Amino acid sequence: DVQLQASGGGLVQAGGSLRLSCTASGFTFADHAIGWFRQVPGKEREGVSCLRGSAGSQYYTDSVKGRFAISVDNAKNTFYLQMDNLKPDDTAVYYCAADFFTNRCPMISGTRGAHYVWDYWGQGTQVTVSS
């Protein structure tokens, strides 16, 4: 039974940092796509970053390149999203996700990686960036 538990959201000033964590059970990172999405009210869920397996290729949406970093700790069955130089536009509910097919990454809207085809989801964690 696959389960994901997200944590680490909070309120931070613009320019600050947060690290989101997603603790997983029931599967191994090596043969899954894992990633982070975010959503604001009234908008489609947006793919932020993903990995093809624990050591595979990475993807970042353009707006977070150079500021966010996805990583994995296999020993802890946890993956992370380090978010630096946060901006008010990063305010959203962030969700961690996983899928059996590694080609879900990159998670581009309208493709095989779109949010609505990912199988497993954690609960959301709110990130609020004040200006």
pLDDT interval class at 29 (50, 70, 90): confident
pLDDT interval class at 110 (50, 70, 90): confident
The pLDDT score that the predictor gives to residue 55 is 79
What are the C-alpha distances in Å from 7 to residues 31, 54, 124?
A: 23, 20, 8
Tokens of 54: 């624990």
Tokens of 87: 């901006």
Give tens-digit pLDDT for 67-91: 999 999 999 999 999 999 999 999 9
